[in-house]
A and B are shown apart, each in its own frame.
Chain A
């Protein structure tokens, strides 16, 4: 059956499948699309995926669980957008999301995707953990709930629930307190930002989440938001304004960079370490900020910052975007993008793999362990490095 409502029927045929989308900016290898890196079959490349979507919306192919897996394997990292030489390149990820929209409409989703979305609906987070436990991360800290402070510190689902990401959430809270930043958190009232809900094509749920958040932010008088996660940053910055939710949004590295420039975080410990930084897609390719995290790291005494071969707009995604940190479609192999990335980080000789995203933090830490590199490489969020 043809899917006439598919939003990109007028352009999806324009992909030539020339394969530029597989490369990073330095042409280092054909594995900079995380899904193609993992499976290495043409069907998983950006072009292959678009051709399959076109065949499905045209009725040439039936929906299958495997087709859905290929579509949801897209981590929305935008490497394809960066590399495609054709004029429609900005729409590549949108074409994939639109296919997910269609699958959502039909209720035809891979089981973990369905579970992710159901958990958001029921609990406001993908993990299916009670909303009451959302504030547990802040126990033992001096972080306060939001009450007309200058900034809302939006922690996000990973920082609130994932035990590893909670450490980063706490570290950032302590840093902001140390710098005298006026901020508060939503605690139990916080729900997901909706970024991954949108990336997974559930527009109805996205709308519900966004409107609920905007209502709450407005009722509380929130004007400025600091996010732990670049995914939240992207949502508040790019999605919420479309729903009349206009706030001043900062990723925390932008705030820290500014604080360090103003010497408000000047009494940090010297760290004699070699550090490499992994760019998060939703800060980098999605929002073009490659400098703030590096500025923070460069401001730290003792740190030697070394770059991985693939960096900035050419960075390899950890494979956690588009909900893949939960669905784990790209996991389970030494060719999983996070494991490739862990090896690249180790190749630099760095002792710390610095990240600025709780998704990347958990994905890469697991990968470093799987690669048995944890005796020489540790993964730390920038907030944690500063909090040492």
Chain B
């Protein structure tokens, strides 16, 4: 009998370890266009101590370990590129502490966004976290590990900027805490200790995040989404600049798509406005709509698309069912907001070349300090030709991001290489040193952010 498998069974229990073809197949697949990469084992630990034991085992046996949250990155970031143990962290899903007055929650990393949202809605309806556009099964740990953003990106930035502290199992097995929790205080701040946070954006290649303290924010009682539309994409950067100046929206997204046809070439800006009273709502509406958008209406370049709509949880998986195909993947980028027009135009060209209706979206981060701009490419999972087209379109878009001065967000290995090829050599060498220092046996999600020079 396989010694690694036996050891995993001993650590997590027979139900939660597998080396059977069915689990290996399941964990070999990403939801996007990535080619399957098979693990040798699957394990689903329940505690940080179990994670630690698995890491120690992996070091001893020189077996790769690939942590997995919801598996929603679409970019194959949790695929075991070199085999090993696929580590499903979703059994680590407890809410450990919520400090209402300090507005933070400590959770295990495998908790889903949906579960946390439901918990807050029920027990603390006046608090919320920044929920990403991914399906609610996406985990908190997975999302911050890839520098995700959510529906509070405009006022508060990246979700990974909202971390107050972390517990991480290092690639050599030590369980470390970062932030105020590391000195025995509460989990209320990551600062002002020395910056040794080396785990965000690394796709789990420098350690396994097991606990997170996440900032919570006021959740207002009245919530609505308003839409403003323009035909000229060139107006979007100015519009976003104007709207972020007043800072009255909770979320600002500019988007357009070829399907449905009435949206083709019409750029929508969705503005989530929230308030505790009708007076507060009216004040915010006034500043945004009357103060910043009225002149576009007056000069005939823009119009109100909709007002006072319910804010719906996005159902991004519907994008996958275009032409009943069951698949889509997108390139996300962190871009200057000024690049919106070019991002849209060049993206539409790529889509046309690959016979895929374009869908593009730019979510404002901070006071228009940047936007997460995405280009989505749907494909039919049962038609390899459409998968190939989508994959090629994704690669072309990765290159486009860099050409337009952007940074690829949660890049797949292809995109990682593109960026490392351009990266400052000293920075690259430091990444290499960090990786080698933390992970001397190279067991953590090998193939990701791997500096070969």
Interface residues of A (CB under 8 A from B): 11, 13-20, 22-23, 26-30, 38-43, 48, 51-52, 55, 60-62, 64, 66-67, 70, 85-88, 333
Contact = CB atoms under 8 A, between A and B. Distances in A.
A18 B315 CA distance: 10
Contacts of A61: 21-22, 25
B115 A14 contact: no
B321 A18 contact: no
Main secondary structure of the interface of B (DSSP, over half): mixed
Contacts of A85: 315, 317-318
Contacts of A28: 115, 118
Contacts of A30: 90, 93, 112, 114-115, 137
Size class of B's contact patch?
35 or more
Interface stretch (B174-182, B223-231, B233-241, B324-332): B324-332
3 nearest A-B residue pairs (beta carbon):
A19-B137, A18-B317, A14-B326
A19 B321 contact: no
B137 A14 contact: no
Contact of B88 (A26, A41, A66, A86): A41
B140 to A, nearest CB: 12
Interface in B326-346: 326-328
Contacts of B88: 40-42
Given A42-B27, A42-B71, A60-B25, A15 B326 contact: yes
Contacts of A86: 317-318, 320-321
B2 to A, nearest CB: 16
Nearest to A60: B25
A15 B93 CA distance: 25
Interface of B: 15-16, 18, 20-23, 25-27, 29, 31, 42, 44, 70-72, 88, 90-91, 93, 112, 114-115, 117-118, 122, 135-137, 315-318, 320-321, 324-328, 380-382
A140 B382 CA distance: 61
A16 to B, nearest CB: 4
A66 B318 contact: no
Contacts of B22: 43, 52, 61, 64, 66-67, 70
B188 to A, nearest CB: 26
A19 B110 CA distance: 14
A67 B26 CA distance: 11
A55 B136 CA distance: 26
12 contacts: A14-B325, A17-B31, A17-B71, A18-B317, A20-B135, A29-B112, A39-B16, A48-B26, A52-B22, A61-B21, A64-B21, A86-B318
Most chain A CB within 10 A, of B20, B22, B25, is at B22
B137 A40 contact: no
Given A42-B71, A86-B321, A23 B137 contact: yes
Given A13-B380, A18-B317, A30-B114, A41 B136 contact: no
A81 to B, nearest CB: 15
B135 A41 contact: no
Given A30-B90, A42-B88, A85-B315, A14 B321 contact: yes
Given A23-B137, A43-B26, A55-B25, A64 B381 contact: no
A18 B44 CA distance: 19
Most chain B CB within 10 A, of A30, A61, A333, is at A30
Given A18-B320, A20-B136, A64-B22, A40 B90 contact: yes
Given A14-B326, A17-B31, A29 B317 contact: no
